[in-house]
Amino acid sequence: MPVHETRDLLDPEARSDSVLQVIRALMCRSGLRTELARRTGLSIASVSTAVQRLLDDGIAHGGKKEAVALRPVTGVAVGIQVGARHVTVAARLPHWPREQVRLVSLGQGLRDGAAWIDAAADAVAGLAGSIGRGPADLATVGLAVPWPVDPRDLSPSPPSPWFAAPDLHRRLSARFGEVFGEVFGEVKVVVDADARLGALNEQTYHHPYETLLYVEIAEHVLGGLVVGPRMVRGALGRAGSVGHQVVEPGGLDCWCGKRGCLERYISVPAVLEGVYVSLRARGEEPPASVGALIDRARDGDPDCRWALTAAAKRLARALRESAATLETQAVVLGGPLAPGLRLVAAECEQELRRSAWTRHLELRFAQPDAAAHGALILGLIGHLR
Ligand SMILES: [Zn+2]
């Protein structure tokens, strides 16, 4: 049986829309026909027709009551998450399960200038070389960025402190074109906000909640919102921006123009600053990074622990406020502060239980590389519905 090429399978000219959607869904994850219907938004009848076509063409395998899976394909799927001080690259072949994803972490990010682009391209070439047919064996690339993305032109959605940031997906695409273009032609890079891609990762690989809010807590606090089978984007790509829910009326000025926004109190820089002040007052050396802060809280440092508890309580307050509109079923916390909030999850849950709006709310914690996995899925599906 011939081995299919991922790029050929994803060619929109070659197949009907529903068949293409089922191929994309299978590349994300194998599943029963009912699950494929849920993930694609197609009817069971359409999914069954599309699956039969893929079975006949030798693209997929699986019986009537079994999970349908993709037969082995060539071409590497890549996801890249870029943050202020780090980059994570995820890669796998489209028929591989999530557990087989290869990950590479780079210790530089947006705060270190443009050097991360070359480093990411090198990491991608290394991964493609080890799991694909060579360093240029690239099929799809998705990029997770730490700002909301305007759906009209994929630029940072205003107002954003990163608004002056260049169109990273185009720059990455150009860089990949230089490295890989001779072999495979243009390499299109698809982009979205890290919180939305964290939510996509959650919905694809873990629990399919009816309403889910994914909160990425890093330099900024972004939200990704899922309602029913849909990722809600919002008019300018900012739906679910819980970071700008007011938690301290008349509080600190925020760059968004409001006062007392959650982000001003629980972003990584805000939490580090709070601990810096209290530890200096105690005459002690403050932690240099969020990882060090979390380690010290785990070891019982009262100021570090208190900073995390205060952040968790403010987050719970913001969730209580937003829950009245969304009636969110689950909240998933991701980003570098999430492991710290996990230490004080009981305090956060206690705050949530104080309100009828959030008493039922399930609080979960994402894996650290959730958005990189989400970016890989984004590359495969092309764009978020
Ligand atoms: Zn704000």
Please determine, for residue 325, whether its predicted confidence score (pLDDT) is greater than 90: no
Q: Is 345 helix (H, G, I), strand (E, B) or coil?
A: helix
What domains lie within the chain, and their CATH numbers? 4-70 (1.10.10.10), 75-196+372-381 (3.30.420.40), 207-366 (3.30.420.40)
CA of 246 to the centre of ligand 1 (A): 8
Alpha carbon separation from 309 to 326, 347, 375 (Å, rounded): 25, 7, 31
Q: What is the pLDDT of residue 314?
A: 97
CA of 111 to the centre of ligand 1 (A): 21
CA of 378 to the centre of ligand 1 (A): 27
Sign of CA dihedral 313, 315, 321, 327: negative
The confidence band for 97, taking pLDDT boundaries of 50, 70 and 90, is very high
Q: What is the pLDDT of residue 352?
A: 95
CA of 165 to the centre of ligand 1 (A): 19
CA of 145 to the centre of ligand 1 (A): 18
pTM of the model: 0.93
Task: Match 């970071």 to its residue by tokens.
Answer: 243
Q: What is the pLDDT of residue 206?
A: 82
Q: What is the pLDDT of residue 164?
A: 61
CA of 260 to the centre of ligand 1 (A): 7
Q: What is the pLDDT of residue 385?
A: 54
Question: Could you tell me what percent of the chain has a pLDDT over 90?
Answer: 73
CA of 281 to the centre of ligand 1 (A): 29
SS (H, E, C) 35-60: HHHHHHCCCHHHHHHHHHHHHHCCCE
CA of 241 to the centre of ligand 1 (A): 9
CA of 252 to the centre of ligand 1 (A): 9
Please determine, for residue 235, whether its predicted confidence score (pLDDT) is greater than 70: yes
CA of 22 to the centre of ligand 1 (A): 39
End-to-end CA distance of the chain: 33
Copy the structure tokens of residue 229. 């089978």
